Amino acid sequence: MRFRLVDRILELDAAKHVPAEKWIPPEVDYFVDHFPGYPTVPAVLLVEMMAHAAGEFLLADIARTQWPVLVQVTHAHFRKNVKPGSIVGIDATIESCNDRTVRTRGCITCKGARVAVSSLMFGSIPKDLLAANLDDKMLRLSLMA
- The yes-or-no answer on residue 17 being catalytic is no
Give me the catalytic one of 34, 52, 75, 77.
34
Alpha helices by DSSP H, listed for 12-42, are: none
Are the C-beta atoms of 26 and 97 separated by less than 8 Å? no
Half-sphere CA count of 49, side-chain side, radius 13 A? 30
Q: What is the 3-state secondary structure (H, E, C) of 89-107?
A: EEEEEEEEECCCCEEEEEE
What residues are annotated to the active site? 34
